[in-house]
Homo-oligomer: A and B are copies of this chain.
Amino acid sequence: MSQDDLPPAEPRRKDAAATRAAIVRAAREAFTRLGYDGAGVREIARAADVDTRLITRYFGSKEGLFAEVVDVAYEKSLMMTPELNAQAARALLMDPDSSAHDGLLLTLRSASNERAAAIMRDSIQRNYQRRLADALPGSDTVARSALLIAICSGVLLSRMVLGHTELNRPETEQLIPLLHAALDAVAAAPGTGQAAVAAAPAGETAGPSATA
């Protein structure tokens, strides 16, 4: 439906690198949309215009392919820092699907599967949480970064995966400052009680969707 517009008339024969890339691309789309269990290797292969056999040859197994997909997905994820909480809150609540949280979204749709969860837990720690923890002020940065990621995951899960309609309506915009305050409550240095809580009188800096 959406990936038939790869290179259209180019047969791409005997090009391992291009084949690998096409598989990873199709797999990322399929895993993000359907989850680890929901996406089948046949479907991925068809979307990538590639024989099924090549998947197991190049990546060993479906699990190996998933691990590779997860790793690259987190590299384009929106980086969260205490200064970006406002933009993060807006992006989490308003962006339609956005590539900003590809990693997290991929995570959520596949969390049910135990093997997939283990792969993603590992990748989150390597690619996401370490960076976030380094950017946080104060102490307990690892734990607090994990809590921040957890909160963001929950919002994304409710909106995108569960399809909670209450978070996809016009009033959702009112929630941005609230979510911002909630994020700041965790991200701000502990002890410095002032935080930015209850800031932003609902106007909020209407930044350009912050899909960095």
Residues 192-207 of A contacting B (Cβ, < 8 Å): 193-195, 197-198
In this complex, how many residues of chain A approach chain B with their Cβ under 8 Å: the count is 62
Task: Count this chain's copies in the assembly.
Answer: 2
A140-B174, A142-B166, A172-B143 given; A157·B154 CB < 8 A: yes
A114 neighbours in B (Cβ, 8 Å)? 38
Digitize A124-158: 1 where CB-to-B-CB distance is under 8 Å, 0 elsewhere.
11000100000000001011111101111111011
Report which of B147, B161, B172, B198 forms a contact with A111, defined as CB distance below 8 A: B161
Let me know if A87 is at the binding interface, CB within 8 A. Answer: no
CB <8 Å contact, B117 and A161:
yes
CB <8 Å contact, A158 and B149:
yes
A172 to chain B, nearest CB (A): 6
A150-B158, A157-B153, A178-B185 given; A167·B143 CB < 8 A: yes
A72 to chain B, nearest CB (A): 19
A55 neighbours in B (Cβ, 8 Å)? none
CB <8 Å contact, A163 and B118:
yes
CB <8 Å contact, A164 and B112:
no
CB <8 Å contact, B112 and A37:
yes
CB <8 Å contact, B111 and A144:
no
A157-B111, A162-B120, A195-B197 given; A150·B178 CB < 8 A: no
CB closest residue in chain B, given A197? B197
CB <8 Å contact, A182 and B143:
no
CB <8 Å contact, A162 and B197:
no
CB <8 Å contact, A179 and B186:
yes
Let me know if A61 is at the binding interface, CB within 8 A. Answer: no
CB <8 Å contact, A150 and B164:
yes
CB <8 Å contact, A163 and B198:
no
A103 neighbours in B (Cβ, 8 Å)? none
CB <8 Å contact, A161 and B198:
no
A154 neighbours in B (Cβ, 8 Å)? 150-155, 157
Let me know if A86 is at the binding interface, CB within 8 A. Answer: no
